Structure 1
């Protein structure tokens, strides 16, 4: 197996399809540009799907879960047992993303990379057991090289399954108590930005808790001596199993030619890592929303991303991305089903 598969070329955008879609847009019964960002989105999707009239009927959602050793530093308002409990909730249909997947008619898979419950065996969950969570990155690297490669491959495998199912849009979600700390640490390295500017309340920390989280991150970054130009080492040292799997999924989707809708803060950090590892993946990443975590806006700006929604969300699970799917579907419907001036016998503006 090629350990450097993530360097492989990503699929090319079909610029001819974009031009065909643009020509159609110019004939629709509306003032030019009047649907704003929705018009840009449909052109983007046309290029990614190679179709003048893109559609988003087949949506696949993959939730990646893993525990974090850094929770031992007191950086979370919730106990680690919640990660495994939420796995039950995902497959039991009671989690937010489970409800949203049903409403969207989307497929939902749950991948357990490694929780503190190594004997956990739940029907409907892919248990990969890379470890009982990551190591405490405030004391040692979060992952071994073998664990990192396995987590990246797990995401790539999900992308492969999605492509084989004819997926038109992939959503990655995450679950892991402590993962906003890992994400903020990664972002701090890659953006050369102080941890205090990227650390937020996560699941509900107060201001003192947020300051403590930032201090733990700063101490860990000094310990590992990480550099922005080595994203893979940063991912191994302060990342998480589920974050690495998201990176692998995003890169795998771009290589397979499947569009990705990126969720919130943690998923955006994974997207940044993916882009740093292989910049060719960037056109395949769409961004669903700007969340409530203070570091998310900084990330979106670094990725030159225009999020579709701003609803103050901080749930994770891929829920913000799922909420944006109806908007994307409506954009495609408007583009594909609206009459042209000729079809509707409506006078166009003079040339």
Structure 2
């Protein structure tokens, strides 16, 4: 029996990309000599090899990412760190796929702009500049009047939410190309060499689950599994109905098997923009902090388009989403933190930021 193309390795799938899609070149960071020298610097006197464990791995990754010039690498430098939160709505939300009302996307964006979200406190603590990007919210949005903004609002709306994937592809090819390019453009105009990428959007975990299933062959029942909190709040019948709807959507778009094709058919505008943002940031040798399940799905797509992008991606935490654990396994990485977060918006990425500062300090001793 022929294997279902959904379960074929990503490297063997159709790699045809639209002519209009222009991706930046991304250089790999492998450097054996640099790694050897840094291991010697990091090794505590009298301690066993790899005494610093995964912290050593993090230091080496960061150093390789920043070792892109003719000047010999010495110390890690983090300049003007940025937090970019991409917001979008999803047509599949109309099918009752989320416990949150569709209007919550707008409410969460307004909280971010007013400085009322938990991540605002963390951004202020760590000196991150916040940018919120309207990638495709269902309603027009503008900066709140008579209120001091706690971040910048960029209007990069592709459309007023994606289409319902049960009825058709989430995006047209042209829309997906525009969204990827918009994400690249956002990064080009931001300063600094560190960027945290996060998301806001009701039912965006549905798109993440569909992409994980399609690109990695994970059964939808696992990719869209429930965490402990959801299991107690949602009865089994309701959850089974949701999985059946996702299965119908996946079957409808069974021919979308390449990374870009899957993104257009099953993804969201914020996922497409984060994909472009990751590729652009990697091409500029910026360190990319990846926050949560939805941003992880963008990383899956970015890896499919350019495998070397993973050299620049720091997976900051493992979210409560059941599928996120599987996604991290397929990315062959371990996150810095596991706090059971269910909030998104970059909260986990900024909680993990002190780990990068610790890596910086280890090379300064």
Fold agreement, TM-score > 0.5: yes
* Alpha-carbon separation, structure 2, partners of 1:174 and 1:117: 17
* Residues 36 and 57 of structure 1: CA distance in aligned 2, closer, same or farther (over 3 Å): farther
Deviation at 1:20, TM superposition (A): 3.4
The residue that corresponds to 2:195 in the other structure is 170
The residue that corresponds to 2:125 in the other structure is 103
The residue that corresponds to 1:68 in the other structure is 90
After TM superposition, the runs of 4+ consecutive aligned structure 1 residues lying more than 4 A away are: 27-32, 201-205
Deviation at 1:4, TM superposition (A): 2.9
Match of 2:211 among 186, 192, 196: 186
Deviation at 1:29, TM superposition (A): 8.1
TM-score (norm. length: structure 1): 0.88
* Alpha-carbon separation, structure 2, partners of 1:72 and 1:256: 39
* Alpha-carbon separation, structure 2, partners of 1:4 and 1:322: 31
Are 1:11 and 1:256, in contact at CA under 8 Å, matched by a contact in 2?
Answer: no
Are 1:253 and 1:259, in contact at CA under 8 Å, matched by a contact in 2?
Answer: yes
| Deviation string, structure 1 residues 130-165 (Cα, Å, up to 9, x no partner) | 111111111111111221112111211222123xx1
The residue that corresponds to 1:122 in the other structure is 143
How many pairs does the alignment contain? 331
The residue that corresponds to 1:328 in the other structure is 356
Q: 2:75 matched to 1:53?
A: yes
Are 1:55 and 1:333, in contact at CA under 8 Å, matched by a contact in 2?
Answer: no
* Alpha-carbon separation, structure 2, partners of 1:184 and 1:335: 39
The residue that corresponds to 1:343 in the other structure is none
TM-score (norm. length: structure 2): 0.85
Deviation at 1:33, TM superposition (A): 2.5
Match of 1:133 among 144, 161, 165: 161
Deviation at 1:28, TM superposition (A): 6.1
The residue that corresponds to 2:241 in the other structure is 212
Are 2:58 and 2:359, in contact at CA under 8 Å, matched by a contact in 1?
Answer: yes
Are 2:79 and 2:192, in contact at CA under 8 Å, matched by a contact in 1?
Answer: no
Q: Identify unmatched segments of 5+ residues in structure 2.
A: 1-17, 68-72, 145-151
Q: Identify unmatched segments of 5+ residues in structure 1.
A: 338-351
Q: Which moved more, 1:176-185 or 1:196-205?
A: 196-205
The residue that corresponds to 1:269 in the other structure is 297
The residue that corresponds to 2:322 in the other structure is 294
SS in 2 for 1:125: strand
* Residues 27 and 211 of structure 1: CA distance in aligned 2, closer, same or farther (over 3 Å): same
